[in-house]
Amino acid sequence: MTGGLELAILAGWTIVVTIFGLVAGLVLLGIDRKLAAHMQARVGPPLRQPFIDFRKLMIKESVVPANAIPWMFNIAPVIALISSLVILLYIPLGSIPSPLGAFGDFVLVMYLLTVPALAMVAGGFASGSPYATVGAQREMVTMIAYEFPLAIVVVAIAWRLGAAGIPDAFSLATIAAHPVWSVVGPLGILGLLLLLVVLAVVSPAELSRIPFDSQEAETELAGGLLVEYSGRNLAMFYLAQGVKTLVMGAIAVAVFFPWNISSFISMPGGVAQVVDIVFFLLKVILVMFFSVSLARVAMARFRINQIVSLYWIYIGVIGLSGLILLMADAVLVSVAGGII
C-alpha cells in the first residue's frame, strides 16, 4: 500500500514537472526573442509569441514528403520532446527535488542530452531531403565536437567533490546541495571559472543556436534538419527546443549557481518553494542571456570546420586547464589541511 502511494506521488510530481517544463520552456523562448530584439534596437514580438506560434502549428497539417520514411519522420519529433522532458526529471528545480533524481546522475543526463539531437538527425535523414541530409551530417559532427568538453566539465566537478569527501559526487542533487565553490581554494575558483566558460560555450551548440546552427543554416540549407517539417511535427520540435533550453539553464544553475533564497531567509515550506522556483527561473534567464541570447546577437554563424576546431582545440584546452587547476587545488587544500 505504501509502495502504491509513493508511486502515485511520483507520477503526480512527474506530471507537475512536465507541465512546468513545457510552459517555462516556451516562456524562455519568448524572453530570448525579446532580449535579442532589444539588443538589435527592435521592439520584438510579445513574450507570448512562442505560445501563439505553437498553437498555430498545432492546428496546421503535418505534411509528409513523398520520398520520406513516414514512421521515422513522424516519430522523431515525439522522441525529441519526450526525451527533453525526461532529462528535466533528473534535475533539481530550486529547492524542489527532482522526481527521478535518485535513479540517475550527471553522466546519465549528459548522455540523455544527445537523444533529442539524435532524434532530429533521424528525422532529417528520414525526410529524404538533400538539405536535411546535409543538416543531419553537420549535427552529428557538432555533437561529436562538443561532447568532449562537456564530459570534461562533468568529470571535473564530480571528481573535485569526491576529493573533498562528499559521497555520490556524480548525483546532481548532491552537486546542488554541496556548491563546489565552497570546497575549493583560489586555484579551484579559477578552474571553476574556466569550466563555467566551457559549459556556456557548449550550451548554444546543444540548442543548435547561433553561432553553432550550421545544421539548420537558413541561408545555406533553407532550414536544414527541419526543412521538410510542418504542422504538429514542427510544433513538437519547437516545444522540445524550449524544454531543452530550460534543461541547459537548469544544469548550469544546479552545478555552478545552486543557492536558494530559502537557505538564507527563513520562510514557511510552501512559500519557500515558490520563492526558490522564481529565483531559479531568474538564474536560468541570466544564464541563457549570457550563453545564448548575447552570443547569437553578437556573433555570426561558424562554419562546421570552425565549430570542430573551436571545441576540440580551444574549448577542450580550456576545459582540461580547468580540470588540472581543480586537481592542483585539491592537492594544495589537502596539504594545507594536513599542516593545520
Query: CB atoms < 10 A from the CB of 198, how many?
Result: 24
Q: Buried b vs exposed e over 139-165: b needs ≥16 C-beta within 10 Å?
A: bbebbebbbebbebbbbbbbbbbebbe
Average pLDDT per consecutive 10 residues, the chain (340 residues; last block may be shorter): 67 85 92 89 88 91 84 90 91 82 82 89 85 84 89 91 86 86 89 94 87 72 74 91 92 90 76 86 93 86 86 92 90 67
Give the C-alpha distances (Å, rounded to integers) separating 56 from 24, 50, 81, 231. 19, 10, 18, 8
Query: CB atoms < 10 A from the CB of 337, how many?
Result: 8
| φ/ψ bin of 224: left (φ > 0), alpha (ψ from -120 to 50), beta (otherwise) | left
Q: Report the C-alpha gap between 310 and 333 in whole angstroms.
A: 33
Angle of helix 2-39 relative to helix 269-288, nearest 10 degrees?
Answer: 40
How is residue 6 written as a grid cell? Answer: 509513493
Q: What is the pLDDT of residue 218?
A: 63
Report yes or no: 308 and 214 within 8 Å, Cβ to Cβ: no
**DSSP track, 314-331:** IIHHHHHHHHHHHHHHHH
Q: Which residues contact 321 (CB under 8 A, 6 or more apart)?
A: 191, 194
Q: What is the pLDDT of residue 1?
A: 46
**DSSP track, 41-89:** T-----TTHHHHHHHHHHTS-----TTS-HHHHHHHHHHHHHHHHHHHT
Q: What is the pLDDT of residue 253?
A: 93
Q: What is the pLDDT of residue 269?
A: 67
**pTM of the model as a whole:** 0.91
Give residue limits of the domains in the chain: 2-339
Q: Report the C-alpha gap between 48 and 338 in whole angstroms.
A: 57
Q: What is the pLDDT of residue 201?
A: 92
Q: What is the pLDDT of residue 281?
A: 92
Q: What is the pLDDT of residue 221?
A: 59
Q: In this predicted model, what pLDDT tens digit does every residue of 222-259 receive, in sequence order?
A: 666 788 888 899 999 999 999 999 999 999 999 999 88
CA dihedral 143, 140, 33, 26 (to 10 degrees): -90
